[in-house]
Amino acid sequence: MKPEDLKSPFREGERKVLIQDRVWYIPLKGLSESDPFRFPGWEDPALFGNSSPVYVEYCSGNGTWIAEKAAENPSINWVAVEKKFERVRKIWSKIKNLQLPNLIVISGEGLLTTERFFPQESVEAVYVNFPDPWPKKRHAKNRIIQPIFVQQIARILKPSGSLTLVTDSLEYSAQMIEVVNGSVDFSSYFPAPYYSEDVQNYGSSYFEQLWKEQGRIIRYHQFQKKIMEEACSF
């Protein structure tokens, strides 16, 4: 299958939530609170049809990294989240051509999708690989790694679940560390300075290959959701 074989299922101007042929469509704008769609659960046949662990990657790009992971780990359900439809098409093409029943792609924005649809404590691991660094100061507010996003990730992760962030931007790396270390929900796998420049068998993506060829430094950040102790009762 070629990426262009995936056609939008909607007429012009139509906006609704729909799961169809391994793609979960979530409108970027105009999503109504009255939309009748209700999340059916990861076990639903329209998604995975089983209760295997769920791993989510945000900013999946062309899907190289997550498709490789899905092929290597068939006992894990993988979810790619990508808001650009041209990239969604490429991920869908990989799902079809590599015959990956354990991978779906969400055509939507990460924070909105997570807030509206992902159930509490339903995900084992979250990855954000090379998110847009929005390098200009006035655009930094558009970065996905913000306190509200981290709060939502803590909500959907199971106890001891993991959050992995990867970037080639040293400025964004500093923000990632500040935001996640500032959360009461996470602790860093790595001691100060809270990142590693070498993680074995992590997997490769288009951007990782590109930036390494250009000699850029890549930082890997890994955090674990804390298990909160229940308050004592007498």
- 64-72 vs 85-97: helix crossing angle, rounded to 10: 30
Question: Does residue 198 have an active-site annotation?
Answer: no
109 is in an annotated binding site: yes
**3-state SS class at 170:** helix
Which one, of 189, 203, 208, lies nearest residue 76 by Cα? Answer: 203
Q: What angle do CA 205, 206, 208 make, to 5 degrees?
A: 65
132 is in an annotated binding site: yes
**3-state SS class at 58:** strand
The catalytic position among 44, 132, 185, 198 is: 132
57 is in an annotated binding site: yes
**3-state SS class at 224:** strand
136 is in an annotated binding site: yes
What distance in Å separates the CA atoms of residue 197 and residue 13, rounded to the nearest whole number? 45
Long-range contacts of 10-13 (CB under 8 A, 24+ apart): none
Binding annotation for S-adenosyl-L-methionine: 57, 82, 109, 132
Binding annotation for substrate: 136, 168
Residues identified as active-site: 132
Binding annotation: 57, 82, 109, 132, 136, 168
